[in-house]
Structure 1
């Protein structure tokens, strides 16, 4: 049975943000699509459907259908109160990972800086500094 894929319109919105950053690679993940800086995954879009994939369905408390994006934070995610309430959720597999439920009405102006921060968290220091300087 084929795995559910995130809507192309949502993947395209994440793609436009992520591929604007230096040295980013987009690739098909074990499910969905992910964006990496070097070998480190800083953004991952996944479709939850019928409780699959179970780790994502459990973390999001949603059996789907639902499209989610996970990203990294510069500090433990639990230290940022806004990430503890919808549309965010806190997966347990890394202390610095956050998930967000994506819908056609998601606020992409708010999501973009989260993805840039995720990139800067995992990028080599010189690349992260270059991106931070360009965005000031």
Structure 2
């Protein structure tokens, strides 16, 4: 799991993997992009950054999402066999782009509004 996350996150400019107080985290400069760790309940979690309005939306979705108890823009996801890794990749891309300096964030390809917009009837 850590290898899979590392392969995704370290492809971003200047995003570095390091051991955290528990688990592993990825940072750009001094800013945390993502942090994965296991709990005493034997569940694995990843926390990452999101726009403030999205934090509330994730919190309301409920499991597997949760609001982290630290940071106003930090949300989390329980990782398990049902994890949608494609969606997680998009969330981590957003997290990186929120935390990276603009000169680095603009180097990361992201879906355009035209690609993500629903077709109109």
Q: TM-score range by the shorter chain?
A: 0.7 to 0.9
Q: Which of structure 1's runs of 4+ aligned residues deviate more than 4 A?
A: none
Contact persistence 2:58–2:66 (CA under 8 A): no
Equivalent residue pairs, number = 109
The answer to whether structure 1 residue 104 and structure 2 residue 81 are counterparts is: yes
Deviations along 1:70-116, one digit per CA (max 9) or x if unpaired, are 000122411xx244311000022111000100012311001001001
TM-score (norm 2): 0.84
Alignment equivalent of 1:37, drawn from 19, 28, 42: 28
The answer to whether structure 1 residue 72 and structure 2 residue 49 are counterparts is: yes
Alignment equivalent of 1:135, drawn from 106, 110, 121: 110
Extract unaligned runs of 5+ from structure 2. 112-121
**Higher mean displacement: 108-117 or 67-76:** 67-76
Change (3 A) 1:112 1:100: same
The answer to whether structure 1 residue 46 and structure 2 residue 21 are counterparts is: no
Residue of structure 2 equivalent to 1:126: 103
